[in-house]
Chain A
Amino acid sequence: MSTIKTTADAGLAQAGPTEGRLSALKDRLQQLLAFASLLTIVVFFSFASPIFFTYPNITSILFSTVVIGTLAVGTTFVIITGGIDLSIGTGMALCAVMSGVFIVNWGLPLGVGVLCAVLFGGLIGLVNGFNVAFLKLPPFIATLAMMLVAQGLALVISHSAPIYFTSSPGYVKISTGKLIPGLDLPNAVLILLAGCVVSGLVLGKTVLGRYTYSIGSNELATALSGVNVRRWKLVIYTLAGLFIGLAGVLISARLGSAQPATGAGYELQAIAAVVIGGTSLAGGKGSILGTVIGALIISVLNNGLQIMSIEQEWQKVILGLVILVAVYADMVRKKEA
């Protein structure tokens, strides 16, 4: 009916049909800006040091991004729902230990052992998801508790000693092998790449992804729209858990051993990567591409500063400042947009 349209227009018509495309463009631009800062840092180091922009060094940067990147990609889902996962670091150490238990102690076949280790990560996520979605614990508390539990269990199960994968030499190949002949790129990098592509598709193209954003944007409204929020949260935390398991396999394969005492601190680096990548801790907003860029910024900084022989202590100071600047810049951009 045209009468309605005209009355509605009188009061409401201010924005044209370009609104949607404009905001989509703005989002794209934001990622571009994160990418631009990554490029700036790369260019800076390339001029500062002749070793930096060489093929072996680029490969080594990518290789060092793998663990943080894997954790960050998984936890991006959780953070977009407005949650947080503090258990990913020590959870990863526990999964590495479990991988050692499955493969070294129990003698499971390599493939089965790896699968079990990844699924064990899923179990950690499932418990987190249950505590958050069904017991309604705040994510910070639920995963803080899991962080401690995982750290303790890793030490108890391994008797506080590393588990070496010397008996299955194929294990280290998962990280360090080179699947593509002629291309000097470790498998771990390829696995991270595959993980990014898959989770990017899940986040952007599937129902699970849509509900991830929706829950983060307005949880109650999502529930009132008939979406089973509790179940989807469980799924999302479990998915993040699978990435914990994957990271556990990748780090222990890289080292050739499961180190039960490592892991703490990784969660904060992963969260930093997510945040630098433009994902909002308040939920509703973020992307896998952004997270990958965030993770790369962190490892490029670490690598570049190392090459320039800046002490490790200062590297941390600089990383802290970068997080401040990145998030502040993101907020300013949003305000101006």
Chain B
Amino acid sequence: MSEHAMGGQPMSDYLLEVEDVAKGFPGVQALDGMHLNLRYGEVLAVVGENGAGKSTLMKLLSGIHEPDRGQFRLGGAPYLPTDPRHALAAGVSIIHQEFNLMPHLTVAQNLFIGREPRTAGVLLSERALNRAAAELVDRLGLALDVRALVGNLTVAKQQLVEIAKALAYEPRVLIMDEPTAALNDAEVAALHDLIRRFVTDRTGVIYISHRMEELKAISDRITVIRDGRFVRTLDTALTKMPEVISLMVGRELAADAQPVGVREDREVVLRVSGLATKPLLRDVSFELRGGEILGLAGLMGAGRTEVARAVVGADRRTAGTIELRGCPIAVRNPADAAKHRIGYLSEDRKHLGLLLEQDVAANVALPSLAERFSNYGVVDVAAVRRTAREMVARLGIRTPSERQVTKNLSGGNQQKVVIAKWLVKDCDVLIFDEPTRGIDVGAKAEIYDLLNDLAAAGKSIIMISSELPEVLRMSHRVLVMSEGRVSGVLDAAEATQESVMALATTRHDRTVPTAPEAPK
């Protein structure tokens, strides 16, 4: 490719420069005074709260929008992409946060979409395509079948396809937006290996993430942005993470508090025994006490979400009983679960948790509409609004009013709306699935506080999370799953990264338990 020849002699100290860039949309100044310098051969982390302007910056760099002011330079030369194709040709590949794959096409078809090997100009050569894709996947050392339909792959594998697709363009600059949001620790490590191999003295990576531990592990420098502006660039090796966080949020955060141990004195609220589902779960049993936060840990595919879905009746159970305060209850579907005051907050907030086109009030009232807000089928709009306003105040939801459409709220505030929904319903058992996925650090801390408050008020909470530090920080007890079974339950005191990972990598198909290897 022609860029390679140019890359031999750098014309500038920096591979990619962003100089005083501004971009406004009607009603919002998304970027203003944005600076960023990517050196050759480095991984530059870009951090900022949601709404800090990261995604706008990405859209400018990929040519979806044009900046109002300022300029980009790529390898010292002015760079103004006019559309995504132009950006890719110039050597800038971007992996966007939302999955950008075609589920109905195969891995190979996805990898080379837009530049398929052709014969006679218009005819596709499927054989050449599969061969090229297999070569690429081999070269990157990924375990992917190029003929598989992407829609049939696990989320983690889909993420690998995205990365392979971006690397297929042989970019000089690789930009990744939250590439690990859906990955577990082992997969993150594999991804980081891949990034390190990609970085040479001709290339560079911009790595956007909310996970502080990761930045420490992968980045050379960290650029902090806030409210659409450049704040500071720090050397990772010389920087402590709390400093980064305080720069991001513009204030100091309280040190992480460890939760107290399990509260044996509280009554058992929920008892699940012998739970099984046809595809995955086998003999899952656990207890949940009042005022307790039970963390559910495990690798991707271990069955954490499946447990939640089976408990609330979203998936069919083939065996198992559920008792609420000692009485067996029949939960055939989520409506039954809600009737028994068990709320499930899905990991897929945007698709399964919210009516994005509706306002905050409508979302908050939805589960309790029939029983609390209606008179003979007529919705009491005033009561709905009043309750929504209370919730906005109580949970600190940042929104102009309760009539704002939820689509326009940030991830953290959307999550609070989902929580408000189930609080209005007055649930005793709340199952949080990845409550902080895609949420920035400041909002995360607020969600944590909220969970602690709820537990202190006597609610029983199950928290499913792929982020081990989060599980360790929040849980009174940690239930670790692997391969659809419970590998063990740890008290807060005995739960560490090592002990949880050891249980998470337990293999159940062997008759004699062997010492599990930690994935490092």
Chain A residues near B (Cβ < 8 Å)? 1-5, 7-21, 23-24, 205-210, 213-214, 216-218, 220-228, 284-285
- Write the B274-317 contact mask toward A (1 if CB under 8 angstroms, else 0): 00000000000000000000000001110000000000000000
The answer, among B62, B88, B187, for a CB contact under 8 Å with A12, is B187
Tell me the smallest distance from the CB of A283 to a CB of chain B, in Å.
8
Tell me the smallest distance from the CB of A80 to a CB of chain B, in Å.
9
Count contacts on B: residues with CB < 8 A to the other chain.
57
- B146 & A206 in contact (Cβ 8 Å cutoff): no
Known A24-B147, A224-B84: A15·B153 in contact at CB below 8 Å: yes
- A11 & B113 in contact (Cβ 8 Å cutoff): no
Chain A, Cβ-Cβ closest to B146 = A20
> B468 on the interface (CB 8 Å rule)?
no
**In the complex, A2→B99 CA distance in Å?**
27
- Collect the chain B residues with CB atoms within 8 Å of residue A24's CB: 147
Known A12-B154, A14-B154, A205-B124: A20·B193 in contact at CB below 8 Å: no
- A7 & B186 in contact (Cβ 8 Å cutoff): yes
> B105 on the interface (CB 8 Å rule)?
yes
- B519 & A213 in contact (Cβ 8 Å cutoff): no
Please, could you name 6 A-B residue pairs with CB atoms under 8 Å apart, sorted by A? A12-B157, A19-B145, A210-B105, A220-B100, A227-B113, A285-B104
- Collect the chain A residues with CB atoms within 8 Å of residue B100's CB: 218, 220-221, 224-225
Interface centre among A12, A23, A218 (most CB of B within 10 A): A12
- Collect the chain A residues with CB atoms within 8 Å of residue B145's CB: 15-20
Tell me the smallest distance from the CB of B447 to a CB of chain A, in Å.
26
The answer, among B89, B116, B147, for a CB contact under 8 Å with A210, is B116
Chain B residues near A (Cβ < 8 Å)? 62, 64, 83-85, 88-89, 94, 96, 99-107, 109, 113-116, 118, 122-124, 140-143, 145-149, 152-154, 156-157, 160, 165, 183-184, 186-187, 189-190, 193-194, 197, 299-301, 505, 519
**In the complex, A23→B103 CA distance in Å?**
12
How many residue pairs, one in A and one in B, have C-beta atoms under 8 Å apart?
Answer: 144
The answer, among B113, B140, B299, for a CB contact under 8 Å with A222, is B113
The answer, among B62, B122, B143, B519, for a CB contact under 8 Å with A207, is B122
- Collect the chain A residues with CB atoms within 8 Å of residue B147's CB: 19-21, 24
- B105 & A8 in contact (Cβ 8 Å cutoff): no
**In the complex, A227→B112 CA distance in Å?**
11
- A284 & B122 in contact (Cβ 8 Å cutoff): no
- Collect the chain A residues with CB atoms within 8 Å of residue B101's CB: 218, 221
- A222 & B102 in contact (Cβ 8 Å cutoff): yes
Tell me the smallest distance from the CB of B513 to a CB of chain A, in Å.
18
- Collect the chain A residues with CB atoms within 8 Å of residue B519's CB: 7, 10-11
- B143 & A5 in contact (Cβ 8 Å cutoff): yes
- A206 & B123 in contact (Cβ 8 Å cutoff): yes
Chain A, Cβ-Cβ closest to B103 = A217
- B301 & A14 in contact (Cβ 8 Å cutoff): yes
Tell me the smallest distance from the CB of B146 to a CB of chain A, in Å.
7
- B123 & A11 in contact (Cβ 8 Å cutoff): no
**In the complex, A227→B231 CA distance in Å?**
36
Chain A, Cβ-Cβ closest to B115 = A226
Tell me the smallest distance from the CB of B143 to a CB of chain A, in Å.
5
- B193 & A217 in contact (Cβ 8 Å cutoff): no
- A12 & B143 in contact (Cβ 8 Å cutoff): yes
Interface centre among A7, A206, A208 (most CB of B within 10 A): A7
Chain A, Cβ-Cβ closest to B100 = A221
**In the complex, A9→B505 CA distance in Å?**
13
- B84 & A226 in contact (Cβ 8 Å cutoff): yes
- B189 & A7 in contact (Cβ 8 Å cutoff): yes
- Collect the chain A residues with CB atoms within 8 Å of residue B154's CB: 12, 14-15
- Collect the chain A residues with CB atoms within 8 Å of residue B189's CB: 7
The answer, among B62, B116, B184, for a CB contact under 8 Å with A11, is B184
- Collect the chain A residues with CB atoms within 8 Å of residue B186's CB: 7, 10-11
The answer, among B84, B105, B148, for a CB contact under 8 Å with A19, is B148
- Collect the chain A residues with CB atoms within 8 Å of residue B115's CB: 226
Contacts A210-B124, A217-B105 known; 7 new A-B pairs at CB < 8 A: A1-B141, A2-B141, A7-B190, A13-B143, A14-B301, A15-B152, A20-B106
Interface centre among A9, A19, A214 (most CB of B within 10 A): A19
Tell me the smallest distance from the CB of B517 to a CB of chain A, in Å.
8
Tell me the smallest distance from the CB of B218 to a CB of chain A, in Å.
14
- A3 & B104 in contact (Cβ 8 Å cutoff): no
Tell me the smallest distance from the CB of B206 to a CB of chain A, in Å.
17
Chain A, Cβ-Cβ closest to B483 = A14
Chain A, Cβ-Cβ closest to B130 = A20
* 4 closest Cβ pairs, A-B complex: A20-B147, A226-B85, A217-B102, A284-B104
Known A12-B187, A226-B85: A207·B105 in contact at CB below 8 Å: no
Interface centre among A14, A205, A218, A220 (most CB of B within 10 A): A218
- B116 & A207 in contact (Cβ 8 Å cutoff): yes
- Collect the chain A residues with CB atoms within 8 Å of residue B88's CB: 225-226
**In the complex, A311→B147 CA distance in Å?**
49
- Collect the chain A residues with CB atoms within 8 Å of residue B153's CB: 15, 19
Chain A, Cβ-Cβ closest to B125 = A205
Tell me the smallest distance from the CB of A58 to a CB of chain B, in Å.
34
Known A12-B157, A205-B123: A4·B193 in contact at CB below 8 Å: yes
The answer, among A7, A21, A207, A226, for a CB contact under 8 Å with B124, is A207
- Collect the chain A residues with CB atoms within 8 Å of residue B123's CB: 205-206
- Collect the chain B residues with CB atoms within 8 Å of residue A220's CB: 100
**In the complex, A17→B153 CA distance in Å?**
12
**In the complex, A269→B229 CA distance in Å?**
57
- A23 & B148 in contact (Cβ 8 Å cutoff): yes
- Collect the chain B residues with CB atoms within 8 Å of residue A5's CB: 141-143
- Collect the chain B residues with CB atoms within 8 Å of residue A207's CB: 116, 118, 122, 124
The answer, among A2, A7, A20, A284, for a CB contact under 8 Å with B103, is A284
- Collect the chain B residues with CB atoms within 8 Å of residue A221's CB: 99-102
Chain A, Cβ-Cβ closest to B85 = A226
- B105 & A214 in contact (Cβ 8 Å cutoff): yes
- B141 & A4 in contact (Cβ 8 Å cutoff): yes
- B102 & A8 in contact (Cβ 8 Å cutoff): no
- Collect the chain B residues with CB atoms within 8 Å of residue A11's CB: 156, 183-184, 186-187, 190, 299-300, 519
